[in-house]
Every structure is written in C-alpha cells, then in structure tokens.
Amino acid sequence: MKTMTNRKTGSCLFSDSIFRKVATVLLLTHSFFLNAQTFPMAGVLPSENEVVEGISVGAGRSSVTDEYLSPNLYSGFSIEARQDRMGSRGDDRLFRYSRNRSSLSASHLRNDTGNGVQLEAAAVLVHVRETQLLHYKYYDLLFGPSAMGGLDAIYNLRNSNNPANVHGWIAAGVGADSMFRFRMCKRQLALDASVSMPVIGVFFAPEYNLPYYLLYEEGLYGKALHFMHPFNVSVFSHDVALFVPMGRNQLSLSMSFDIMAHRLGGNYAGITHSRFSLGYVHRFERKYNGR
C-alpha cells in the first residue's frame, strides 16, 4: 500500500503501520460479531471427523506431602500447559467420542516454616472413549472407559541420599464429560465439566526406605510396583471450563483440580493441584487419511 505523503512538509498523512492497525481492528471486530452469530459452536460436540482442540496455560497452587522425602506439607506456585482434543468417529456407534488430554506442569513448593524447598514436575496423559448417555438441546452427557498414565517427580533440595521420588501409573479407568450450553448477551456460551479417574492399573512408588540406589543396582523393581485400585490409590481430576466464542474460535476459562494420594509401601503421598487456565479452542476437520 502506498503512503499518502504531503510532499512539501514530508509528513505522513496515513502511514502504512497505522492503516494496517486500523484495518486489522476493523476486520477483527467485524468477524468477531459475524462469527458470534453464524458460528455458535461453543459446547457443540464435534461431528464426524471433526476435532475440537483446546490449548491452554494455567497457574495455581500445588500441595505435596511425600513421606519418602519428608512428612511435612509443601505448598506453592504451580504452572501448567495443557492440550485437550475431542474427536468423533462415525464408525464407532458405542463410543463415538474420544477425548485426549496431555498436560505438563511444574511447581515450586515450600514447607510451612519456609526453610525447605521442593520442586515438582508432572506429566499426565488421558484418553477417554465416550458414549453419549444423554443428548438434549442444551445438554450432553458423555461417559466411557479411559486409559491413562501419569508421572510425578518431586525433588527435595536438602535431602542427601533420598533427594527425589517418582510416582507413576498406567491404568484403565473411567471418564465423564457434561456440556451445558446457554445463551448470554445474545451469544452462545458453554460450560463443560469433565472428570477422569483410574480404576485398575500399575503404580510405581518405592517401598518405605528402599533407596533408588538399591532399586537400580539390585534391580528391585518388584518392590516399587503395586497393583492399584481406588481403595489404595486415589487419582482423580475434575475441571470446569467456560467456553466463550471469539471469532471462529473460542476462549476457554477453566478451573481444574486434581489429586493423587496413596499409602503404598508404607509411605503416604498426597499431591493436589488447583489451577485457573486460559486457553483457546478451535475446530478443524480431519482428512480422510487421518490427518
């Protein structure tokens, strides 16, 4: 685009950058309202071969008690990056919807007296195949089996020979997802509540005072692997998200809470996270070859 310049003074009447900014704002505003009316997709389940993907980042609080490292409660600041994907498969009549979640989080924790520090990092993968139990104009309820895995590593900055501990699990479980759609200010919003929880699986947590040195040097892995079920290990995650249409995409505001607690091998461990996340959600169609 050419710049309109006053040749005598050399000043810019309408510079490129200002014009671009104004044009962009106008176009965005226009598309925002246009799409709010023509793409009321918030909370609408994906149709066949369609994928709804959400990417979000969050911050909140974590608290950790891991008796392998310390009987004290450590709590502090936590951040998380998360990807959620929901797809639909027309060829599967029973479990038509699939939901995937992968998240990475990190926490910096202090004990109550402020003289101890622990660092925590966690990774969680959840895959849920869901059937539509209920479907109404404003409400959907999905429920189904899930496969999930998680890894939680904690590092205590002061311990000498047992400075770190890892909790990990691979399990089969259940998941549920409920979607409320409602209108506010002439716009369709949605409230999504989802839960997931393992039922049976294998859990890794070293026995009582088993040092990692022995675990590796002597190959005592059997002393760290446990059969897990809801009465000896509790892993549970729950989150509620509000979807607000923004143009062709949606803004997501969510609150999540998860807990992992057990007393395997004689040591209690309890880890909770509660976070507020902000993200965006977009829809796209999967091509026939799976892309």
Partner 1 sequence: MKRLGYIYMLIVPVMLCLSAASCQFRNAREEYPDTPAGNFEALWNIMDTHYCFFDLKQRELGVDWDSVHDRYRTLIDDEMGDFSLFEVLTGMLGELKDGHVNLYGKYDVGRNWTWKTDYPSNLSHDIRNAYLGNDYNIAASGCFYKILPDNIGYLVIESFSNTFPDSKIDAVLSWFGVCNGLIIDIRDNGGGLLTEADKLASRFTDEKVLCGYIRYKDGPGRNDFSKPEPVYVEPALTRLRWHKPVAVLVNRGCFSSANDFAVKMKALPGAVLFGDRTGGGGGFPFSSELPNGWSVRFSSAPMYDASMNETESGVAPDYPVSMTESDMSRGVDTLIESARRWINDMIVNP
Q: Tell whether residue 139 is a contact of partner 1 (CB under 8 A).
A: yes
SS3 (DSSP) at 269: strand
Q: Residue 290 burial (CB < 10 Å; 0-12/13-18/19+)?
A: exposed
Please state, in angstroms and rounded to a whole number, the distance separating the CA atoms of residues 283 and 33. Answer: 18
> Binding to partner 1 (CB under 8 A): which residues in 101-130?
111-116
SS3 (DSSP) at 88: strand
- 159 forms beta bridges with none
Please state, in angstroms and rounded to a whole number, the distance separating the CA atoms of residues 71 and 83. Answer: 33
Give the shortest CB-146-to-partner 1 separation in angstroms: 12
Closest by CA position to 232, among listed 190, 202, 206: 202
Q: Tell whether residue 184 is a contact of partner 1 (CB under 8 A).
A: no
Contact, 49 vs 270, CB < 8 A? no
For residues 13 to 52, the per-residue mask of contacts with partner 1, x marking binding by CB under 8 A and - elsewhere, is: ----------------------------------------
Please state, in angstroms and rounded to a whole number, the distance separating the CA atoms of residues 41 and 52. Answer: 10
Q: Tell whether residue 238 is a contact of partner 1 (CB under 8 A).
A: yes
Give the shortest CB-273-to-partner 1 separation in angstroms: 14
Closest by CA position to 279, among listed 243, 237, 240, 248: 243
CA 192 to chain centre: 13
Q: Tell whether residue 65 is a contact of partner 1 (CB under 8 A).
A: yes
Q: Tell whether residue 71 is a contact of partner 1 (CB under 8 A).
A: yes
Give the shortest CB-266-to-partner 1 separation in angstroms: 6
Q: Candidates 211, 227, 284, 285: give the one binding partner 1 (CB under 8 A).
A: 211
Q: Tell whether residue 209 is a contact of partner 1 (CB under 8 A).
A: yes
Residues that bind partner 1 (CB under 8 A): 65, 67, 69-72, 111-116, 133-134, 136, 138-139, 141, 143, 156, 158-162, 176, 178, 193, 195, 197, 207-211, 213-214, 217-218, 220, 223, 230-236, 238, 259, 261-263, 265-266, 268, 270
